[in-house]
Amino acid sequence: MTTVLVVDDVAVLAEQYAYDLKRVGGYEALAAGGGREALDILEREAVDCVILDLEMPGMDGFEVLRALERRALRVPVIVYTGTGNYDRCIQAIRLGAQGFIDKAEPMERVVREVEGVLERERLAAQVAALRRDLGTEAPLVGASPAMAKLTERMARVAPVPSPVLIVGESGSGKELVAREVHRRSGAARGPFLAINSAALPAELVESELFGHERGAFTGAVTARKGAFEAAAGGTLFLDEVGDLPPAAQAKLLRVLEQRQVTRLGGNRTIAVDARVLAATNRELEKEVAAGRFREDLFYRLNVHVLQVPPLRERISDVPALVEHLLATTCARFGMRPKTLEPAALECLMAYDWRHNNVRELRNVIERMIIATDREVLSMEDVPQEIRDHAPGPQRTTYQAPRTLQELKAEAERQIIVAALERHDWHITRTAQALGLADHASLLKIMRRFGISRE
Ligand SMILES: Nc1ncnc2c1ncn2[C@@H]1O[C@H](COP(=O)(O)OP(=O)(O)OP(=O)(O)O)[C@@H](O)[C@H]1O
Ligand SMILES: [Mg+2]
């Protein structure tokens, strides 16, 4: 349900307008008789759009816009004017208003304007979520000791050009870790190219990785660059490297040793400068012992290993992950962000996520969001199989915070610490990454939570 707030110093006008909006647009409509009252309502209620009078005694529309900015209340505002002074409307747009209308305009036009503004908001949120989905901005959420250790190791291996092997259970975040290593490496400006050997038919793997010349095999009607060439200056991520067919394993080893590649059916050697990251959820030692993975390639890849911990070993990250997944998934669906009741969160923290780790949690959250219209998800929304498998929360060793306030504070603290670590405790950069106004705001939050580098 969309909620619109109409702000006008003439109370009857605001109420009439709200009534008409409800009737024509089908909105939930609230009315405020002045700037201060409007701000109070906005602090309290989830309002989707504000229609704001510019000319008001006391706190006028411009001051309301400035106050919204100062309080970081992000709600789209349409200003309306009865004086026909459009210069003032333009001024309001500069202060962050999204549109303006004349008080005399028919309600249908106003509803169209509101819809336009809401659509723009939804699109902006979706673009942000997609960007995160694409991995260009996806943060590695989690400040548990296990994640802190991983982050520390990542910071060490990222700058060196050698291959890195990323191991961890299915869905634990190996690809996300690979992208983070790329971002922190000297190859960050180049492309990040992921090749999944398990998803490719065996006869295509080599051509995908190393490229081919024209006529190299039936169907090779043109020459084609392989992934090593395409990732030049960047990072090549070999996902599911344990599934690479034997012949491709031999070639891969040669490419890694000689830092050059020969396309199939060709004899030119092409220098390779792509940083290579490889991931697997198999135990490569076992694959080597069983003769399915080349030992020499294993030792070549095994120099630097990043172990991504399973979610059950970092249950204290669940609140922050849930918050992150709720926000990104709702944004992706163009919904207002939902929240989770403490009891439901405890239930998710008691489950072991052995099956698919963070991906499993992500899918559960998505199912919970879709299954109900309510904005606060409760215990009943947690899928039955999770509730069944979760041992009573009293048996978990983790001391779960009790109230929603405590849970939120804990999640917030973890998000801040993780962001700080990602940016080497550079305050200004971290504040920017978190979308805070300035470094002072971050320092204030850090003081509130008692966060310091030690
Ligand atoms: N620490 C994390 N913070 C936020 N999201 C995460 C984290 N770890 C994993 N995810 C999310 O969980 C999902 C699975 O992660 P990813 O694809 O990186 O796992 P994987 O280990 O590569 O899985 P697979 O073994 O199946 O290939 C993705 O949607 C990813 O964004
Ligand atoms: Mg993966």
What does the DSSP 8-state code read for residue 303?
T
Of 344 and 72, the structure prediction assigns the larger pLDDT to 344
Average pLDDT over residues 25-46: 92
Find the DSSP H helices in 168-270: 174-183, 202-210, 227-230, 246-258
Q: Is 194 in the pocket of ligand 1 (CB under 6 A)?
A: no
Q: Domains of the chain (ranges plus CATH)?
A: 3-133 (3.40.50.2300), 145-307 (3.40.50.300), 311-422 (1.10.8.60)
Residue among 140, 151, 175, 237 to mutate when testing ligand 1 (max atoms within 8 A of CB):
175
Q: Examine the pLDDT at 106 and tell me if it is beyond 90.
A: yes
Round to whole Å and give the CA distance between 201 and 51: 57
Cβ neighbour number for residue 287 with a 10 Å cutoff: 18
Average pLDDT over residues 4-25: 93
Please give the pLDDT value at position 297.
97
Query: Can you spell out the DSSP letters for 117-168?
Result: HHHHHHHHHHHHHHHHHTTSS------SHHHHHHHHHHHHHTTS-S-EEEE-
Percent of the chain predicted with pLDDT > 90: 62
Please give the pLDDT value at position 15.
92
Please give the pLDDT value at position 294.
97
Whole-number Å distance, alpha carbon 331 to ligand 1 midpoint, is 18
Of 320 and 454, the structure prediction assigns the larger pLDDT to 320
Average pLDDT over residues 108-131: 86
Q: List, edge to edge, every strand of the sheet that includes 99-102.
A: 28-32, 3-7, 49-53, 77-81, 99-102
Please give the pLDDT value at position 79.
94
Please give the pLDDT value at position 62.
94
Mean pLDDT for all residues in the chain: 89
pTM of the model: 0.66
Round to whole Å and give the CA distance between 447 and 444: 5
Please give the pLDDT value at position 391.
58
Residue 402's pLDDT band (cuts 50, 70, 90): low
Residue nearest atom 8 in ligand 1 by C-alpha distance: 173
Of 94-98, 110-114, 436-440, the poorest mean pLDDT is in 436-440
**At 265, phi and psi to the nearest 5?**
75, 10
Rounded alpha-carbon distances, angstroms, from residue 328 to 333, 336, 398, 406: 9, 10, 26, 22
Q: Is 168 in the pocket of ligand 1 (CB under 6 A)?
A: yes
Please give the pLDDT value at position 246.
92
What does the DSSP 8-state code read for residue 184?
T
First to last CA, the chain: 46
Task: Tell me the per-residue pLDDT of 189-243, one tens digit each, with 9 for 90 and over.
Answer: 888 999 998 888 888 899 999 999 888 888 887 888 899 999 989 999 999 999 9
Please give the pLDDT value at position 126.
76
Please give the pLDDT value at position 73.
80
| DSSP three-state, residue 290 | coil
Percent of the chain predicted with pLDDT > 70: 95
Tokens of 236: 């090549």
The number of the ligand 1 atom at minimal distance from the alpha carbon of 279 is: 22
Average pLDDT over residues 393-405: 55
Of 47-61, 207-221, 356-370, the poorest mean pLDDT is in 207-221
**At 326, phi and psi to the nearest 5?**
-60, -45
The ligand that comes nearest to the alpha carbon of residue 129 is 1
Residues with CB under 5 A from ligand 2 (ion): 175
Average pLDDT over residues 255-269: 92
Q: Examine the pLDDT at 399 and tell me if it is beyond 80.
A: no
Q: Examine the pLDDT at 398 and tell me if it is beyond 60.
A: no
Residue 50's pLDDT band (cuts 50, 70, 90): very high
Please give the pLDDT value at position 393.
45
Report strand pairing: 376-377 vs 339-340. Answer: parallel
Residue nearest atom 23 in ligand 1 by C-alpha distance: 171
Average pLDDT over residues 55-74: 90
Please give the pLDDT value at position 136.
59
Q: Examine the pLDDT at 340 and tell me if it is beyond 90.
A: yes
Round to whole Å and give the CA distance between 454 and 446: 13
Which burial class, exposed, middle or buried, applies to 62 when counting CB atoms under 10 A from its CB (0-12, 13-18, 19+)? buried
Of 37-41, 126-130, 158-162, the poorest mean pLDDT is in 126-130
Q: Examine the pLDDT at 128 and tell me if it is beyond 80.
A: no
Residue 164's pLDDT band (cuts 50, 70, 90): very high
* HSE-CB of 449 using CA atoms within 13 angstroms: 19
Whole-number Å distance, alpha carbon 173 to ligand 2 midpoint, is 7
Instruction: Output the CA angle 180-184-186, nearest 5 degrees.
Output: 130
Residue 44's pLDDT band (cuts 50, 70, 90): confident
Could you tell me which of 346, 338, 402 has the C-alpha nearest to residue 372? 338
Please give the pLDDT value at position 396.
42
Average pLDDT over residues 63-76: 88
The ligand that comes nearest to the alpha carbon of residue 172 is 1
